Structure 1
Amino acid sequence: MFSEIKKSLLVSVWFMFLTFPIMVIKVNTIENTIIWRWENLVLIGLGSFFLSFLWRFMHNKKATKRRQDYKDVLSKLFYDNLIENKKVFIPIVAALIIFILLFPKMFSTYQVTIMTTALIYVVLGLGLNVVVGFAGLLDLGYVAFYAVGAYTYALLNFNYDISFWIALPLAGILGAMAGILLGFPVLRLRGDYLAIVTLGFGEIIRLVLENWGEFTHGPSGIAGIDRPNFGFDLSIVGSINAIYYFVFFFVLVTIFFTNRLQNSRIGRAWVALREDEIACQAMGVDKTKTKLSAFAFGATWAGFMGAVFAAKTTFINPASFTFLESAIILSIVVLGGMGSIPGVILGALILILLPEYLRAFSEYRMLIFGGAMVLMMVFRPQGLIKSKRRRYNLESMSKKKLKERQNAASS
């Protein structure tokens, strides 16, 4: 304990030394005087000492718990007490759905817009979760498919006055084609090399959109994109609420499809590819089709959400599809837990909503947010809700088959 206190004291003294010129000395250029703010130095010393000591205490506690095999307590409690317990799971889901349906009635238009953006990122996170979480393919250019979907609807609507409902499936199809186009060159790549190639693909798409001015309108972007027509005239507020409900419906559809795919034959092939690519191929799984299907499926949802994003904002330009967007979507998957559908949903809501609701802290909000992310990655690197690994008990399976045969023989 004494050594930990000593180390924390050294850290606080070092921080006080580093921040002394900025936090203590203030020059008044009008009166040519210097103001000494010693109280800031005391606060920095106390704060850095407390945080350093807390960090060391939690780090040592984490090492002790790792030896006691308490690593996945949160995930086990989540799955055992919520997901698999229907008496608890069904009422909670029903309450959440009712809350989401009543959200536009309870909160302002600004809050509805923020929540719509968060739901869009939920779908994007679930789409990337197929590529990164299920198949284990690190994709740093996911925003390229998002851009393809957005520009598909924007250009069709701007040039040919095509409605959102016709352009939406086309955006998904073109996104899937872009995913397959990316998948072919990276079939033999893995790890860092795959990440570099996908990063380059995303930047190529952005630069094409920015420099092909005759087709994409260049950096100026495309304005005046029509919002979806839901069959009746809506005000701006009504249109925002309608898009919110549509995106929420899309979230439910995405959850259903990704959950069913996870339990399907192709889903098991993705997991096998993630765990061991060589063993997966040796067992007869077609590596080419498996990788291409993962890229295509993930890109399809990105294409859909790109069209929704263009309809929601009514204006897009290449600056909306930078590498930062890919990094945010990947952070959602990593923060929530790779391969975990509930984890990705929770990660998207936290990562998108938290910076908005921390605006009250002004310039300190990103510092707080960044610190929280660092703490999360240090003390829970597997994510908020780790994906539950399926285990098969051979003894119970053999007893089940024997019972089935006995029933069949008796009948």
Structure 2
Amino acid sequence: MIPRPLPVTSHVHLPVRVAPPHNSSDAGAITTRLHHVLERDASGIRLVYANWSNDQGADLPGPDAIRVSATVALDGGAPLPVTFDGEPAATLAPGEARISDPLPIGAPKGATITSTTTARGGTVPLGPCTDATEGEGVAVGEREPEPGTAYGYGPWQVLGDVADVAPLLLVTGDSNAVGFGDRRGTADHLGWVRRAFAGTVPLINLAVSGGTALGAQTDASKLRRGRLLQWAEPDVALAALGTNDLQRGGPTLAEMQRRLTAHWLDLAGAGRPVHACTIPPVTTSTDGWLTIPGQVPTPGSDVRAAVNAWLRTVPAPLAGVVDVARALCAPESEHVWGAGLTDDGVHPNAVGHAAAAGAAAWLVASLCDAEDGAAPLLQRHPDASLGQLR
């Protein structure tokens, strides 16, 4: 098989959702050190950087142009300079994305690439949270970061030339798909998407904390997806949206069907199969979500249940459904969380993210079957308790 550019690590920049100015840094320059463990053998490694921000769940171009430079070290070796069209730095206009030149290194699965990225500008969008226990960190200015836990700015994708792998998966979603409520050492945002697919299925996660199905159809959101998918074209998509559309009630079943279907059709426009996730509950609690009787569903719960019933019929144009809600809801009621699966009533905790990852096991198996040539892409019929295919 001829190698093609694919993501080789799932630890990359995801936009955080906080009120401005805290989703960006006005320090003038920040330097971020991140470790990226390779999930497959790769050569010709390239870094993708972008200038996009998250404003309360909305995709927006970064407010200012930024200038990005970086080095990469393989397994603790000497740092190599990253270049962009032969230059030592790249200027990214608001909304722009750039890919580096290939680095003169190849590395096996399990090797660690350490990126040290300096972003300079009036305002720098923030994304990845660093894990102090692994020596990651963020520094103001252009000095070497000390180990610490903070939001920084790093590669949005790490691509390499890879052969013989499963189909490339695109994920769109909200903070649950970003991984809020789960942790990687001291860092926020591990999550069920990485738990399910990392190391097995190549992944581009374009989830946005605070994202909605309605917001996914804005011109800015579509532009961001287009800019970040120009170097690695996904073969299949998984949409995990809807929680924030219904968190406080409002949309009817018909309106939710319209919003979700419009997003699926957009994802399917390139001819790729599209899957969707059912929507987990949102509740308040009188006892810190320690018990099921202590939970009270928020407005929108009845519409959410109706949307999930509709999703389980695998409506067109979907190829299949990952039943995240069934994995996270209490057995006796889809309107509340199962015991011990959330700490805030909106996001799964670590146990909940692990349960949600289990709900995607059938899709992982289907994609791996496609890699092995054992079945046509996404034609394996899974256990009905875990998911459905058309």
Normalised TM-score (structure 1): 0.21
Higher helix share: 1
Higher Cα Rg: structure 1 or 2? 1
Higher strand share: 2
Normalised TM-score (structure 2): 0.22
